[in-house]
Amino acid sequence: MIDLRSDTVTRPTAAMKEAMFSARLGDDVFGDDPTVIALQKQAAKLVGKEAGLFVPSGTMANQLALRAHTRHGDEIIAHAKSHIFNYESAAPAALAGVTVQTVDSDDGSLPIDQVEACIHQTDDPHFAPTKLICMENTHNGAGGCVVPRQNIDDVVSVARGRGLSLHMDGARIFNASVAEGGDLREYTRYFDTVSMCLSKGLGCPIGSLLLGSRSAISVAYRFRKMYGGGMRQAGILAAAGLYALDNNIDRLADDHRRARQLAEAINSLPGLSVDLERVHTNLVYFHLDAAHPLAETQGGTPLLTHRLVDEGVQIVGTHGRYRAVLHLDVDDDGLQQAVDAFGQVMNAA
């Protein structure tokens, strides 16, 4: 089965497992696990920050950032299709006690005119005070787009001019830097905090990081404990992260190449369409014509999904919009199997 549901489905390689098996361990809640400490330092250095915090998930990393920058009753600004707003179980409201003002665009950028219109800095008690602007790069909801560098610079300028904090949801930030061929720090240097996921394109079984100033990470450290994210001999997981940072970043270019090949193949099939200009990295979003017979559902799942499973390929999607994700566990042979499956299903419909 070729699993294209997400890059979270990757499994540790033999070499990564060996690194985990041989990791030096301590107790991370006490702050003395040497492998966790090494991972936090290495990741912080990569993005030019003072400190890092190893956490179980990207959602926790993002929510800890919100706690570090805001207090209950504050307001943040984020993209309408952002992960923080849509896919973290209403945690900004439930955990951080903040409200979210959203702006929208097709490419994951934050239009400056919309951002400025959302900022509340007034003594009028009717409004929640704006404290934080969140960006996401690459932007999942926008199809895996790399957010334009100029827009990042513009948002940073507005935030600094208004005294607002900045957080980067960098779950796939390595995909962005590899796709653009730039220095990772160029995408993160002006953000007060950055989250990065190890269990997506980098192939780790578990784990994300929150990176920022020592003071921000100190606050996040306390709330990590509050949220149940304190782990003990976490070095066995952190070792996978160290291996990934050393070995699995540059190879993301292979995922991007295969995603482009799959996107072009899908786009050539009757009834399917891909906005090829939006295929920047390893995510391929595509549409199925609403009138197509495979758009009908079976048990609540589109027939297209069922037919692909019959051919040995798993994807996700509904309401005509679907996603296929290329990753570490899909090589060129797996890609060809996926291309053949799509062709078989669509040409037989």
**Confidence at residue 218, expressed as pLDDT on a 0 to 100 scale:** 97
Report how far apart, in Å, the C-alpha atoms of 118 and of each of 62, 99, 129, 131, 154 are: 21, 12, 10, 11, 15
Tokens of residue 95, six digits: 């955990």
Relative orientation angle of helices 14-21 and 235-247, to the nearest 10 degrees: 140
Report how far apart, in Å, the C-alpha atoms of 151 and of each of 120, 177, 209 are: 21, 15, 24
Full 3-state SS string of 224-280? HHHCCCCCCCCHHHHHHHHHHHHHCCCCHHHHHHHHHHHHHHHHCCCCEECCHHHCC
- Length, in residues, of the chain: 349
Tokens of residue 150, six digits: 């100029």
**Confidence at residue 133, expressed as pLDDT on a 0 to 100 scale:** 98
Q: Which domains does the chain carry?
A: 12-247 (3.40.640.10), 251-348 (3.90.1150.10)
**Mean pLDDT for each consecutive 10-residue tract of the chain (349 residues)?**
97 98 96 97 97 98 98 98 97 98 97 98 95 97 94 97 98 96 90 98 97 98 96 97 98 98 98 96 96 90 94 94 97 98 94
Count of beta carbons in the 10 Å neighbourhood of residue 299: 5
Relative orientation angle of helices 252-267 and 173-180, to the nearest 10 degrees: 80
* Sign of the dihedral through C-alpha 251, 253, 254, 259: positive
DSSP state of 96: I
Residues near 193 by beta carbon (within 8 Å), at least 6 away in sequence: 49, 65, 68, 69, 165, 166, 167, 168, 210, 211, 212, 216, 220
Report how far apart, in Å, the C-alpha atoms of 45 and of each of 39, 146, 212, 319 are: 10, 22, 10, 42
**3-state secondary structure at position 64:** helix
Tokens of residue 198, six digits: 């190890």
**Confidence at residue 298, expressed as pLDDT on a 0 to 100 scale:** 86
**3-state secondary structure at position 30:** helix
From CA 148, how far away is CA 135, in angstroms rounded?
11
From CA 216, how far away is CA 67, in angstroms rounded?
9
Q: Are 310 and 344 in contact (CB under 8 A)?
A: no
**Confidence at residue 182, expressed as pLDDT on a 0 to 100 scale:** 83
Greatest CA separation for the chain? 64
**Confidence at residue 301, expressed as pLDDT on a 0 to 100 scale:** 87
What phi and psi values does residue 20 have, to the nearest 5 degrees?
-65, -45
Tokens of residue 104, six digits: 């929208």
